[in-house]
Amino acid sequence: MTEDTGAGRAENSASSLGDPLKSLNDRLSGVGLKSSTRILILILLAMNRRMSAVELRALLGLGKGSLENHLAKLEAAGYVRTRSTSSFRGLRLSVEITETGLESCRALLRSIRDLEV
């Protein structure tokens, strides 16, 4: 009879998580998703498709400059599209998720779900 030392269980667990962890790491390695804030922005937009910068700042607790920095990186990666519109109160920034951003968000969530912890 062989003795179960726990090391074998840990090794099996690590090898079974290897592919999902690699997949998750690959998803997070792009410049657009290296920040938890940008991931949250992408998830919020995936849920709502379009939001104003005011709504995003309120939900995330970010300042205007910080949000604009994150949005610039997401836009450069092709995940979101921003548009300024004129209103009675001045310019309003609208943020919309792109198909690329939506698919990237879905793939990220699949990678997380595949971890099955």
What residues does 83 pair with on adjacent strands? 94
Rounded to whole angstroms, the Cα distance separating 14 from 35 reads 25
Tens-level pLDDT at each residue, the chain (117 residues): 445 555 444 444 445 556 766 766 666 666 667 788 999 999 999 999 999 999 999 999 999 999 999 999 999 999 999 999 888 888 899 999 999 999 999 988 888 887 776
Catalogue the E-assigned strands of the chain: 50-52, 80-87, 90-97
Rounded to whole angstroms, the Cα distance separating 79 from 74 reads 5
Amino acid 94: pLDDT: 96
Amino acid 33: pLDDT: 72
Q: Which domains does the chain have, with CATH numbers?
A: 7-113 (1.10.10.10)
Rounded to whole angstroms, the Cα distance separating 75 from 117 reads 32
Amino acid 8: pLDDT: 46
Amino acid 9: pLDDT: 44
Amino acid 114: pLDDT: 79
